[in-house]
Amino acid sequence: MIRDSAFTLCVALALVAPACASPRPEDPAATHPIPRFEIPPAKKDVTYVRTLVFGDWGSGTKSQKQTAAAMVLRIKRSDGPPNFVLTTGDNFYPSGAKSADDPIWKAYYEKIYAAKEFDVPWRPTLGNHDYKGSIQGQIDYSKKNKRWDLPARYYSFSEKLDGGHTVEFFAIDTTPLGWRKEDTKQLAWLVSALAKSKARWKVVFGHNPMYSHSKRPYNRTLIRRLGPIFKRHKVDLYLAGHDHVLELTKPIEGVHYVVSGAGGGPMKAYPAYWTDKSYYAATRGGFAWLRISKDELVIEFCRMKGETQFAHVLIKGRSGAF
């Protein structure tokens, strides 16, 4: 897939002259016209599954705390509380958690997300910075804190919807999938889990994006290894982080791709480029909010005051916006 020349030039310049890159990049969502959107109102007789989605967050910075406060504001004005929280990896900077007893848990997680609005299950996935610490330590922390629910490097879980339907989430560990030596065991698990799934909605979440218009190129390894699997098993949505931006790309072979890696706030922001492949692109902090029912999946992109700047609605059985 060939990207537009403006984006390619921006990436080339960033790679050649990284010293010129601003630590506070311009937010394209502040200058690019935001497409018109409409969020269907929640109905009293419909079952919804709601979740926050964010990654690249555990830095302990002021802007991480500001993003957490924005999440609380969004939850408070929601039509319902979140059922759980999804993380898209890089849970702790710069070198992961050393163990389940590492003081970083209290400093970067327990204190910053102490509000009652966060007292729901957290379903994490792992990022490359987490691999600099102890992966087993993050798994073991599930035994110390009932909120933290990381049973393994990759796993799945389902939530009930109306009419006997479900939405199933598949957490994958993309760091080894991106290595030259293919993680065949994990790929075999993913293929088997997706093939067995009877879920109405299938959502995969991991750390590395496949398509992102930021300072990194497309992840060709993941595109080659995961793209055909997603297409064959009719995955609806892939959620990722790694790039510290917010983005929704136009669907590729029926799959929608979201990057929500701005959980560290403005201080951790990467450049973001709004291209003709994008429905939406932004940087300088924020998170995603999902609301899922039997027939619709709403993706909201929320900013640093908790406000929704853009939303996109998937209708089951129909591609494109609502």
The bridge status of strand 296-302 relative to strand 287-292 is antiparallel
Segment (H or E) for 49: strand 49-54
pLDDT of residue 6: 42
Measured CA to CA in angstroms, residue 181 lies from 174, 177, 184, 221 at distances of: 12, 8, 9, 11
Q: Is the model's pLDDT at 201 over the cut of 80? A: yes
Which residue in this structure is represented by tokens 């939530």?
A: 159
Distances (CA, A) of 13 to 17, 18, 32, 271, 293: 6, 8, 21, 12, 43
Which CATH number does 45-315 carry?
3.60.21.10
Tens digit of each residue's pLDDT (9 = 90 or more) over 128-148: 999 999 999 999 999 999 999
pLDDT at 181: 72
**Per-residue model confidence as pLDDT tens digits over 11-56:** 443 443 333 344 689 999 999 999 999 999 999 999 999 999 999 9
Region of residue 164 (left: phi > 0; alpha: psi -120 to 50; beta: else): left
d(CA 94, CA 179): 20
